[in-house]
Amino acid sequence: MGGQFLVGVAAEHRAAAGVAAGEVLEVDLELDNAPREVEEAWAAATRERRIAKAVEGCARKDSLTTLYGSGL
């Protein structure tokens, strides 16, 4: 964007900081390398979603192979 780097800020954070949408600000960003803990339920759901997508992809390819032969 014309050599600019833009960072979106949620309305609730703008309100807390007392700034308006569209206001130009200069900020300092700090890298946060702290380890994150993920709830096991969320991690399990994510794993299940990845597995479901992989199975769906395999099933789709098998269906196409059946229809069009093994030249895929």
Q: What are phi and psi of 63, to 5 degrees?
A: -65, -45
**Structure token digits, residue 59:** 């099933």
Reply yes or no on whether the pLDDT at 68 is more than 70. Answer: no
What is the model's pLDDT at position 1?
Answer: 60
Residue 42 host element (H or E): helix 40-68
| Residue ranges covered by each domain of the chain | 11-29+36-68
Residues ≥6 apart with Cβ < 8 Å to 23: none
Give residue-wise pLDDT tens across range 40-53: 888 888 888 888 88
pTM over 0.85: no
Choose among 48, 4, 11, 52: nearest CA to 26. 4
Give residue-wise pLDDT tens across range 6-44: 888 899 999 999 999 888 888 888 999 998 887 888 888
Please name the residue that has the structure tokens 């300092």: 28
